[in-house]
Amino acid sequence: MPSFGKDALIAWEGDSKEVISSFPEEARQNLGFQLRLLQQGQQPTDYRPMSSVGPGVFELRDQDERAWYRVIYLSRIRDVVHVLHCFQKKSRETPAREISTARQRLKLVRARIRRG
């Protein structure tokens, strides 16, 4: 991933910022570091594409002994990283409701981007 020269903004969609704020401190710090890398135009260390949500959407991952913590984001567009959804889960599979929430927010973000 190329470096863009200037830091991107983070756009928190829905309740994403409140949810990530409720994560345990270590998960918040780890995911915050990954978001900082994205802002600087660098590649995060633990992520994967989320084609089930849409093109250009990725998931940052962290875990502890209690849960898996996830941040679903739309890759940098016009110097903005859109955090679509944050959640925690107890099993390996991502619940359908979490994917649905991310898809709905992606649709809203893409509509805003098209309007300019």
Q: What is the pLDDT of residues 11-54, one digit of tens each?
A: 999 999 999 999 999 999 999 999 999 999 999 999 999 999 99
Residue 2 pLDDT > 50: no
Domain membership of residue 4 (yes or no) is no
Look at the chain and report how many structural domains it folds into. Answer: 1
3-state secondary structure of 40: coil
Domain membership of residue 96 (yes or no) is yes
Instruction: Kindly state the average pLDDT of the residues 89-104.
Output: 95
The CA-atom distances, in angstroms, between 38 and each of 1, 9, 60, 113 are 9, 10, 10, 19
Instruction: Kindly state the average pLDDT of the residues 57-84.
Output: 95
Domain extent for 48: 9-115
Domain membership of residue 24 (yes or no) is yes
What's the CATH number where 67 sits? 3.30.2310
Residue range 49-70, pLDDT digits in tens: 999 999 999 999 999 999 999 9
pLDDT of residue 1: 45
Domain membership of residue 3 (yes or no) is no
State the Cα–Cα distance between residues 105 and 37, nearest whole angstrom. 23
Domain membership of residue 2 (yes or no) is no
Confirm if 81 and 43 have CB atoms less than 8 A apart: no
The pTM score is 0.92
